[in-house]
Each structure stands twice: as C-alpha cells, then as structure tokens.
Structure 1
Amino acid sequence: MNASSKPKLSFGEYLPKIVVAPTFVATLIFIYGFMLWNAWLSFSSSRMLPKYDWVGLKQYERLFANDRWWVAAENLLIFGVLFIVTCLVIGLFLAIFLDQKVRAEGAIRTIYLYPMALSFIVTGTAWKWILNPELGIQRMFREMGWESFSFDWLVNSDMAIYTVVIAGVWQSSGFVMALCLAGLRGVDENIVKAARVDGASMPAIYRRIIIPGLGPVFFSALIVLTHIAIKSFDLIVALTGGGPGYATDVPATFMYTYAFTRGQIGVGSAASMMMLMAVVAIIVPYLYSELREKKQ
C-alpha cells in the first residue's frame, strides 16, 4: 500500500483536540507553570518584587523561625482534626437518620444540604453576625433574662479558632451526609435481612456490618474535607480576619499576609509550597489506592 492510499483524517476527527487544546494550554501555563514559578521564588531572595537569584533554603529557614508560622500550623491542625472528625460523625448520623425512611425525607435532605450551596464568604459573614457578642447569641440570651450568659469566643484569642470549626462544620456536614446516604442506600438488603434473622439488632448491624462497609465513602470524604481544611482562607478572612491579632491564622492566611501585605514574597512562596506539599501528601496516597483498585 503506497502513501497515497492511506486514509485521510477529516476535520471532525481533529475537532475534539482543537476544542480541548486551549484549556490544556491554559491549565499547563496558569496552574502548573505558576506552581513552578512559585517554587523558584521560594528559593530566591524575593521581597517586595520577584527576584530570580538562588539563595537555597534561606526563605524556608526564615519561615520555620517565624513564630506566627507555627501558630498558623497549630491552628490548621486544630481546625483540621476537629472539622474533619465532627463532619464525619455528624454526616454519618444524619445519613443514618434519613436512611430510616422518615417522612419528608426530601425536604430534610435539602435543608441539610443547603449550606453547601453557599460560599465560605457568605458562611463566614453569617456566623460572624451570629457569634458577635454585641449582635448574636450572647445578646439574645441576655435579652431573654440570662444577664450572666457569656459567649465571646469570636473575640477570645484562645477560643476563636473553634468558631471557625463551628462555621466549617455547619457548611460541610451536609456534604458528608450525602456521601454516606448514597453509601447506605447501596448496601445489599439481603445482608441486613440475614443478620436480622440471626438475631442481630439494628445498632449492631450498623456497627459491625454497614459502617465498616462504608470505608471507601469515608476515605473519599476524608480527602475532600482535608483539602477544604488546608485551603481554608475565605472562611477565616470573612469570620475572624485571622484575629484577634493572628490567633486564627492558618497557612493560607499567613501566606497571603506575608506575600501581599508585608512584601515578603519569598517567605510567602515558601509557605505556599509547604501547603502544596501537604496537599500532595494527601492526594498521592489517594491516587495510589484508586489506581491499585482499578489494577486489581
């Protein structure tokens, strides 16, 4: 067969590649390209403006010597653990409740899921009003007669980080509920019936059969919630602004403050690279497990 007899590709066969190409190029440049640029800046002496010299790990040394960074890291640990665990527990119990075929299940499910339709800016602003001692819960109870009632967590530097947990859990528990409910509805009813015939109670069935079978659901929820916790910038900015002082700083707000407010681009870039490493440490095991399951 000579070259002239080879089938020619039509424009329709090239069209999908032409349509996808701009998105692919934009992703390559504006995501991965800027990630590499940020990585280079973290090894440079950049301050007010980017520089492209090489100073090794100097910016990381400055970062780790900064007490505010360790406060931010500790806050992320506190927020992340409480946020993830509470969302998983509440989401699971809500899903079990709805799995009992309650009346108006659709309406209740919508109410639980409604916070997910809001942005974290809206959530943070709403809870800032609710938790404000002069406007929200504290004032309401005092006007009802409990003059000694105090709920000033929002302005208490030791307790402010827990207000972020409250707002985050309120928004994200419905997401976990939806995942768990889908998992519960996928359980084989014959297994449950067989356990009931053997005399097992429903709490025991949930504890020993159904909940252990939701492992992949919990793992997926864990990955998403951890990702949300690490990126928790807009919620904290709207709710506490990182304060009082920098009591509710997390790595995301620390990075923004140093890179764009204090003119410490190198330190901010180093902070963002540490956040990236945290995300990679979570995503890589997840991808490995997914690929391993598909291979098996």
Structure 2
Amino acid sequence: MKLLSFERQGLASWGLLAEDGRIIDGQPLTQGRYRSLRAALQAQALPDIARAARGRAADVSLEDVQLLPVIPDPGKILCVGLNYEDHRRETNREPTGEPTLFLRVATSQVGHGLAIRCPAESHKLDYEGEIAVVIGKGGRRISQEDAYAHIAGYAPYNDASVRDWQQHTSQWTPGKNFDATGAFGPWMATRDEVPDGADLSLSTRLNGEVVQHATTAQLIFSIPRLIQYISRFATLEPGDVIVTGTPGGVGFKRNPPLFMKDGDIVEVEVGSVGCLSNRVLAG
C-alpha cells in the first residue's frame, strides 16, 4: 500500500493511494476509528485496512486535496547525519563508531506540493535528499535481526538545512528546524512493497538537474543498525520517523556553493516509493 495524509476543505484526514491515482479516504473506510495515519499505526491496523480497501472505489481526487507530511504529528523525528561515506568525506568529518543523530520538530516539515520556505534570516538553504523510515511497531532495545518487523514503510524526505544557522555552534538544532524548511512525502510505501534489505535508490534534483544520487547499499549505518542504536536509548513508537541521512553532493560543499532560492523546484525520488516535489519560496 501507499499511505498518505491530506487536508480537504479545511479538514485533515489520511488514506490509501489507489491504482487509478485517486485516494481512498481512510476515515470512512474505517468508520472513523482512526483519525490519523499515526492512530492507525498505533492500533496495528494496517492488515485490516488493506483488507477493507480491496475492491473499494477511490473517492477523493489528488487534485482536490493538499498533501500533508506523511505523518503530520510524529512523536519523534530522529535524523541521521553523515551516514553516506561520500558526504562524510566532503564535510571533512572523522568516522564515528556510532550514528550521528539530531532531532527535527513537526513544524519544520511541509508536505508534497507545499512550499519550502527560505527564511529571511539566511540565504543558505541547502537541499538534503533522504529516505525516511516510518515506525509501525514500537519497541525498546530492538535487535538488528528484528528491526524490519518494526518498520511500517518508507518515504522520500528533504532534510533541508539552513547552513549558517546550523554552523553557529557544534549543535545543529537551529539550522534544522526553521518552520517549513523540510519536506516529507508524498506518501509512504508500506513494508510489503519494499523487500527487507532491498537496495533503494535515492536521487535529488534541483530545477531538473541531478545533484545527489546514491543507494542504501552506501549507508555507513544500515537501517537495522539505526533502529538498534536508537531503540537502545529511546522507546520507538508507531508513527515515529527515522530520517536516514543524505549522500554527497550537498550545495554548501560545491564550488561555487549551490543554495536553494526563491522559485526553485526541488525533488527527492526514492526508487519505487515515490517522488517528493516542492517549490522554494522566500520569506
């Protein structure tokens, strides 16, 4: 399944993307039992939802909704830095024995088709195409062998960074959390659509030009390793999001630097999962 969150006529909902490109609204599908996709994940309801959707006609057009971040209300957004070797090298960072982590807040995200905002405080907004993992089953101290059983699905993510604010100190929080600077969507492909351990491709395009390309085979810390490490210090819960890192080719390490600006179109495409697209607006 491909699952998404959206707003229509001022009301938030969630649903399934049908084969005809329309949406099966998840609230009427489940008789209103789950008010959000996160609530459906918390209830471990995806198998029942898949069965209920079989033969069900889609009732909502994509053109009639505004897509929201896949999980608009995540409990935690855990982001991984320096997790591709070419990116680690281009930033001149030393290898680490454990993943480098930081947190995003929900207000820093927008959905597919909405504008990423280049804040007035900076002109150094940089793209970072990534693959997001959505947790479907909670747990603590999860082993690598069991990690895939805790995944609900995968989605494109743009972990865009305000570079000068990121570099004010050794802590990255300000540069990663300006309102509406990151993007998450358009939907997530559930685990049954992505075989465990599959080598997913990741491409970022700025105004149609490929600026980043990699596969998950190039991750320094694999997805099971990330889940193992994170769950050692934090209980993972359904609807939590792990953003797995960006490959080389980021704008601030180019010569000359390449930052996003007003009017740009940035796309992040993940294999068979989907393509996230956003316009950049100043202000």
TM-score (norm 1): 0.23
The structure whose residues are more often helix, as a share, is: 1
Q: Which structure carries more relative contact order (alpha carbon 8 Å, separation 6+)?
A: 1
